[in-house]
Amino acid sequence: MMERIPNSTFRIPNFAIGIAAIIVCLLAGSAFWRRTAVDPSLTAFVRKGPLTARLTTTGILRPAQSITYRSPLAGREAEITELAPEGMLVNEGDLLVRLDTTELQRELERAQQEVRQSQLEVQVADIERREAEAALTGVSEGEGALAVAETRTRLQLADKKVERLRLEYEQLQPLLEKGFITRDELKKTADELEQSEEEAALTRKRAEVVIKLSHPRESQRASLQLAQKQSALENTRAKAQDARARLALLIERLEQCRIYARRTGLVVYEEFLGATPRRKIRVGDRVTGSQGLVTIPEVNRMLLEASVSEAEVHRVRTGLAAVVRVEAFPDLRLSGRVARVGSLARSSADRPFEDKRFDLIVELDSTPAELRPEMSARADIVVGTRSDALLLPITAIFERQGQLVAHVVRPYGIEARPVDVGESSEALVEIVSGLTEGETVMLTDPGHAVVAAAPGGKIPAVDRAQRSQADRGRPYQPR
C-alpha cells in the first residue's frame, strides 16, 4: 500500500501567485505600450493658425488680344515679296509683310495721266462757262439791252413825229379855208402825216418783235447755254475729282503693301488657303484680301483659359487674386486675377455624364516676353482666408466609406474619428469639428488599428474581419 502524501506538500504560496500576477500585468502593459507607440515623424498636432485657402486649376495660356493682318488689295491678288521671321518678337512699327507693287505702279502712272487730262478739261469747261456767262450778260445788259432801248427810242420818235404832223395838219386846215395856203400844201402835209403814221406803226411792230420775242428768246438761249456749260463744268470737275480720288487710293494701297505691326507681339504665320495640303504662307505666294497673312498675339498681355468643377464654382468670383505657374518655366510665378467665370456649365460631348465644368478666365497682371500662347499653366486662386483656424495637414485626413476621418493617437490605441473640414491650402486643411487643439493624429492610415470610442468610454473589440485591406482609407483630396 502506497503511503499518501499530505495536500500541504503541493500548496503554492500566496506570494508566488502575486509575483506571477505582476509579471502578467507587466507583460500585458508592455504589449499594450508597444501597440500604442508610434513614430513621431508619422504624426502631427492639431494647432491653430492662419490659413489661406486656394483653389487650383489648370489651363492654357492665350493672348489677351491678337491682330490678324491681311492683304489690303481687296479683289486682286498680290505676291508676297518679304516676310518677318515666324516666332520673332516685333515692336510697334516693325515691318511684317511686303507685297509686290508692280501692277499698282503701272496703274498709278495711268491714274496720274488721267488726273492731268481731267485738269485740262476742267480749265476748258470753265472757259466755255465764262463765255456763256458773258453772252448772257451781253443779252441782258449789253447789245441786247441796247437794241431794245434803241427800238423803244425809235418808236417814241415816230410817235412824236406823227403827233407833230397831225397837229400841223390840223392847224393848216383853217388856213386853207381862208385861202392862205393852197390845197397842194395841205395835201403834202397830209401825205407826210400818213407816211409818218405808217412808219410809226411799222416801228411799233418792230419794237414789239424785239421787246416781246427776239430779246426774250435770245436771253433764254443764253441762259440755257450758260446752264449747259455750267453742267459740263461740274461733270468735268466730278471726273477730275474721281481721278484724284483714284490716284489717292492707289497711293494709299501702295503704302499699305508694306504692312507694319500696330502693337508689340509675336509673329505667327497663317495657313495658306490656296495650298493643298495646307501649309503656312511663305514668300512667293499670291494672296487676296481674304487671306490672313500674319497674326500677332500680344504676349505681354496673357490670359489663362481654365475651368472649375460644378461643385467648386460657388467658391470663385471675379476679382479673386491668383498665382499662375507655367509648366515650361517651373520657377516662374505670375500674379493675376479672375476676370470672368462662365455662366453656363459645359460637359464633354464624348463623356456627357462626367463632371460638368464652368469656364474660368484668369487675367495675368504682367507677363515676360518669353511666354508663348498655348503653353500649359496652373493657377492657384485665393478663395478664402482664416486668421485663427484649427489646422491639420491634409495628409492626416482620409476618406473611408464616404466619410472623412482622422486617426487620433490615444493612450489605449488609435481612434478613427469622423471630422468636418472647411477651407484648405496646398498643405493644410481647416478642421471645423471632430478634433481639438493639441491632439495628435497619424499622417498615415494604420488600417486595421482603427477603433472609435464607444459611449461610456468603453473600447469595442476589433474584429479581425474589420482589419482587411478594404478598411484602409483613401487620402483626402481637397476639391
Interior angle at CA 470, CA 469 and CA 472, nearest 5: 70
Q: Produce one character per residue of 424-455: b if its CB has 16 or more CB atoms within 10 Å, e if not.
A: bbeebbbbeebbeeebbbbbebbbbbbbeeee
Cell numbers for 196: 409818218
**Contact 214/206 with Cβ under 8 angstroms?**
no
Domain with CATH 2.40.30.170 in the chain: 57-63+298-385
Q: What superfamily does domain 57-63+298-385 belong to in CATH?
A: Efflux pump adaptor protein, beta barrel domain (2.40.30.170)
Tell me what pLDDT residue 479 has.
Answer: 59
Q: Given this structure, which CATH class describes domain 38-50+387-475?
A: mainly beta
Cα Rg, the chain, nearest whole Å:
58
Cell numbers for 455: 459611449
Nearest in space to 293 (alpha carbons), one of 255, 334, 261: 261
Domain with CATH 1.10.287 in the chain: 103-256
CB atoms within 10 A of CB 20: 11
Domain with CATH 2.40.50.100 in the chain: 67-100+258-297
Give the dihedral sign, CA 349/355/360/362.
negative
Q: What is the CATH number that goes with domain 67-100+258-297?
A: 2.40.50.100
3-state secondary structure of 247: helix
Q: Given this structure, which CATH class describes domain 103-256?
A: mainly alpha
CB atoms within 10 A of CB 79: 15
Domain with CATH 2.40.420.20 in the chain: 38-50+387-475
Cα dihedral angle (161, 167, 170, 174), rounded to 10 degrees?
Answer: -120
Tell me what pLDDT residue 352 has.
Answer: 59
Q: Which residues are paired to 44 by β-bridges? A: 441
Tell me what pLDDT residue 30 has.
Answer: 47
Residues of the chain predicted below pLDDT 70: 1-37, 348-354, 369, 447-473, 477-479
The amino acid occupying position 369 is A
